[in-house]
Amino acid sequence: MFEVKFGTPKPVTFREYCEYGKNVMDIDLEARFAGKCEISDYDHSRYANDEEVSLYIKSNCSEILKKCFKNWPEGQSIVRFHFKGLDEFFSTELKNCGIKAKTDIFSKVLTEDSEKMHKELMNELIKQPTDFGWDHVCFDTVPSKPEGTYMVSPASIGYKYKDDRVYYRPGERVEVDYWAVGSDTSYHVTVNAPDLEVKYGSVIHISFTMPEHDVNILMEAQSVMTPHNTGFTGLNGFMGMFMDMANTTEAQKPASADNPVVSDGSEWTCPLCGSKNKGNFCCECGGARPAKDV
């Protein structure tokens, strides 16, 4: 068994499915991907040695990813969901080429233009009327507090209150769904109320018994897109959709006006895989050259 690291220094284009409530749009985005394959066996009649297998994967990873995107389930987001499906598709394509491997795609970074396009589209989607409750997703107008009730916060973008209300009497069962689940992000919910039940998934379902005081729903999130542990970050509403970028370290951020990457020919070490490079992007995994190394 041996390991092959691969990446896409040039961005790969894919069709992204954007959905918020009943509002649905598609958009073409570009991203750089990085990953690794654990090779357990290969067709020795097609590949003379381990080096040929490694060269095949590194040279063809972009085309393999494009095939994976063509097989991606209709109506499922690539940006907002975990890599498991993409890993399996990649391994299947390698198997069709005579290579038995376990794939781990651990990094996806949208280009600056694609990130901007995606955020603009999502902002447009959430402004449209949905079935999420009062006043376009969030509770812009909260009614007066009924006597003997307490408030559940936050009443913000991304949350759907089952009863379309934020005030409850002690002993009532409160049910809240969090829909703005971010791409490749791990979540942790805490609520200062008894009998808390949380079901994690593409929608996070939260339920608890209303106590005799106001309740705060705290949503914490940690990016799992890269091998670097950046720790939990407080999450509030719509920001969860972009935790992959918000939790990226300075060394991993893509080039931008404030984070330029200009190759001067000097050697630098890739923060993702540790490889030595001289260009703008890692020749092994496709990671961007850190701005601080410029």
Structural domains of the chain sorted by starting position, each given as residue range(s) with its CATH number in brackets = 1-131 (3.30.479), 136-226+230-241 (no CATH), 249-294 (no CATH)
Q: What pLDDT, in 10s, does the model give residues 83-94?
A: 567 889 999 999
Of residues 214 and 246, the one with the higher pLDDT is 214
Q: Is the pTM of this model over 0.75?
A: no
pLDDT at 254 over 60: no
Q: DSSP string spanning 139-163?
A: -SSPPPPPTT-EEEE---TTEEETT
**Higher-confidence residue: 163 or 5?**
5
Q: Is 244 exposed, middle or buried (0-12, 13-18, 19+ CB in 10 A)?
A: buried
- The CA-based angle 153-159-162, given to 5 degrees, is 90
More confident call, 47 vs 234: 47
Q: How many CB atoms lie within 10 A of CB 124?
A: 13
Distances (CA, A) of 141 to 26, 134, 138: 31, 8, 9
3-class DSSP state of 214 = coil
pLDDT band for position 118 (cuts 50, 70, 90): confident
- What average pLDDT does the segment 3-27 reach? 83
- Nearest residue to 167 (alpha-carbon basis) of 191, 150, 155: 150
Q: Where are the alpha helices (DSSP H) in the chain?
A: 50-70, 84-96, 112-127, 243-246
Q: What does the pLDDT look like over 129-183, one tens digit per residue?
A: 444 333 333 444 455 678 889 988 864 556 777 777 788 999 999 998 887 776 5
Tokens 């005030």 sit on residue: 167
In percent, the amount of the chain with pLDDT more than 90 equals 28
**Neighbouring residues of 147: CB distance < 8 A, sequence distance ≥ 6:** none
User: Phi then psi for 178, rounded to 5 degrees?
Assistant: -105, 115
Closest-CA residue to 35 (of 74, 77, 93): 93
- Show the beta-strand stretches assigned E in the chain: 2-7, 12-20, 23-42, 99-110, 150-153, 159-161, 167-168, 173-178, 185-191, 197-199, 204-209, 215-223, 233-235, 268-269, 276-277
CA dihedral (205, 207, 213, 215) in degrees, to 10, reads -10
* Side chain identity at residue 254, one-letter code: P
| Cα separations in angstroms, 11 against 93, 136, 286 | 20, 35, 9
Place of tokens 């001067």: 264
Cβ atoms of 277 and 215 within 8 Å: the answer is: no
